[in-house]
């Protein structure tokens, strides 16, 4: 397990790259067969053997600010609900009533109990079955054994992780997880968007800066550098630093006064399908949920520091910085869709990821290992 470099070390590496006109290079390139984006069998393996078994980010802790707060959505095509209990713990369950299987909730909210909208079966925030209307009509019903079905769940460093593998010990995978989302970050808005592309294509777009100039000439490039990144891996995860041109202002300051705030964006890839991205005024958790070989749902949680508007008070007109990120995100989505259309052209047998794109190779290498039978 690699330990991530401290901020000052990252800053120095970036300044050296600027001076030397270089960037981080991986030891090798990677070729990913196009068939792995188009095969229903491959997709089923990714869903069943990776996305349902490996601990994956479900939502930020900020989306569950108080007892009774819940987030209900599909994860790896399975309805899941995460809820904060009265004891402060977050638990996750399969989102299905034990009577007729009705989903208990959708979206997000805050309730004192989870009540089935079909017949009123009621569950506590701990998942226990508390009340059955006209219970005498259910012979042999044992409420002690008919609570909601739990899935493995852990809350670490501001992120809620779930795994549908009942044998999974999530903490065993999160031992070296770096600081991600501190308690000062509060949820500003959560958004859902369907993408007509393979989920891996969209993840790949976060993991390299080789595209900054051609894809973002009027958005990110005037503020950032093209193809200049510090790339680190830790376990199956990675972190990519995207420097701003403003980082050069640090040259005149003593090293002990250096800060990454407003000087770079960190993108933390949380294997396999989520990213935490830092910006000067906002922090994003992005989760890419696959729906099929050519469809995915993009869940975006935007956070601001304490004192900014909460989700229910989100401004109708976001600030300049958030507008810039949204515009850049639209450009990234357009490129993902263009890649998907290119896959369907039959032009390529594989996609070529060069040494500038080492985090993508790391992603695919670990995905292949799990599909080949490595432990989740």
The overall average pLDDT reported for the chain is: 94
pLDDT, mean of residues 106-135: 98
* Cα of 107 vs its chain's centroid, Å: 17
Q: Residue 313: pLDDT band by 50, 70, 90 thresholds? A: very low
CA 248 to chain centroid: 30
| pLDDT reported for residue 376 | 67
pLDDT at residue 59 in the model:
98
Give domain limits for the chain. Answer: 7-54+181-371, 56-173
319 pLDDT tier (thresholds 50, 70, 90): low
User: Where does 24-148 have alpha helices with state H?
Assistant: 35-38, 40-45
- On the question of pLDDT at 309 being above 50, the answer is no
- Residue 84 parent element (H or E): strand 78-84
pTM: 0.94
For residue 92, give the H/E element and its range: strand 90-94
Looking at residue 315, its pLDDT comes to: 38
Q: Looking at residues 31-58, what average pLDDT do you find? A: 97
Confidence of residue 168 (pLDDT cuts 50, 70, 90): confident
Q: Mean pLDDT across the stretch 239-246?
A: 98
Percent of the chain beyond pLDDT 70? Answer: 95
CB 194 within 8 A of CB 297: yes
Task: Determine which helix (DSSP H) or strand (DSSP E) holds 151, and give its type and residue range.
Answer: strand 150-156
- Give the model confidence (pLDDT) of 247-289 as tens digits: 999 999 999 999 999 999 999 999 999 999 999 999 999 999 9
CA dihedral angle for residue 49, residue 52, residue 54, residue 58, rounded to 10 degrees: 160
Instruction: Check: CB of residue 115 under 8 Å from CB of residue 130.
Output: no
Mean pLDDT on 51-72: 97
pLDDT at 52 over 70: yes
Q: Is the pLDDT of residue 317 over 80?
A: no
Spatial CB neighbours of 8, under 8 Å, sequence gap ≥ 6: 255, 258
pLDDT beyond 90 at 310: no
**Backbone φ/ψ region at 285: left (φ over 0), alpha (ψ -120 to 50), beta:** beta
Residues 218-231, mean pLDDT to the nearest whole number: 97
Domain at 56-173: CATH code:
2.102.10.10
7-54+181-371 adopts what CATH topology?
A: Naphthalene 1,2-dioxygenase Alpha Subunit; Chain A, domain 1 (3.90.380)
Please answer whether residues 287 and 273 qualify as being in contact, where contact means their C-beta atoms are separated by less than 8 angstroms.
yes
- Return the pLDDT at 312: 40
Burial class from Cβ neighbours inside 10 Å (0-12, 13-18, 19+) for residue 341 reads exposed
How far CA 74 is from CA of 45, 70, 107, 321, 373, in Å, comes to 18, 13, 10, 30, 25
């Amino acid at each position: 397990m690699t330990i991530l470099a401290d901020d000052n070390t990252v800053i120095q590496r970036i300044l050296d790259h600027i001076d030397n006109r270089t960037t981080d290079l991986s030891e090798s390139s990677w070729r990913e067969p196009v068939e792995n984006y188009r095969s229903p069998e491959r997709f089923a393996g990714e869903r069943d053997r990776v996305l349902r078994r490996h601990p994956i980010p479900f939502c930020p802790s900020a989306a569950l600010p108080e007892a009774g707060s819940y987030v209900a959505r599909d994860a790896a095509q399975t309805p899941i609900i995460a809820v904060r209990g009265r004891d402060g713990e977050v638990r996750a369950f399969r989102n299905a009533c034990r009577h007729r299987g009705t989903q208990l909730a959708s979206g997000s909210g805050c309730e004192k109990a989870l009540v089935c909208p079909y017949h009123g079966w009621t569950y506590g925030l701990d998942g226990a079955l508390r009340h059955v209307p006209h219970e005498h009509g259910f012979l042999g019903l044992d409420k002690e054994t008919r609570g909601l079905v739990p899935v493995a769940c852990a809350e670490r460093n501001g992120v809620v992780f779930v795994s549908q593998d009942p044998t999974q010990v999530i903490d065993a995978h999160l031992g070296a997880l770096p600081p991600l989302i501190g308690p000062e970050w509060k949820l500003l808005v959560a958004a859902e968007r369907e993408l007509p592309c393979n989920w891996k294509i969209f993840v790949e777009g976060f993991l390299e800066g080789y595209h900054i100039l051609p894809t973002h000439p009027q958005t990110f490039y005037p503020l950032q550098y093209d193809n200049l990144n510090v790339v680190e891996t830790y376990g199956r995860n990675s972190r990519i630093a995207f420097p701003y041109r403003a980082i050069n202002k640090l040259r005149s300051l003593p090293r002990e006064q250096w800060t990454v705030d407003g000087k770079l964006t960190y993108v933390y890839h949380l294997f396999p399908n989520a990213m935490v991205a830092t910006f000067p005024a906002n922090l994003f958790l992005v989760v890419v949920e696959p729906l099929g070989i050519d469809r995915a749902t993009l869940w975006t949680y935007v956070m601001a520091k304490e004192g900014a508007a909460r989700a229910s008070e989100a401004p109708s007109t976001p600030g300049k910085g958030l507008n810039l990120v949204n515009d850049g995100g639209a450009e990234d989505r357009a490129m993902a869709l263009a890649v998907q259309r290119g896959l369907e052209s039959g032009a390529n047998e594989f996609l070529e990821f060069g040494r500038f794109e080492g985090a993508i190779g790391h992603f695919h290498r670990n995905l292949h290992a799990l599909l080949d039978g490595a432990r989740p």
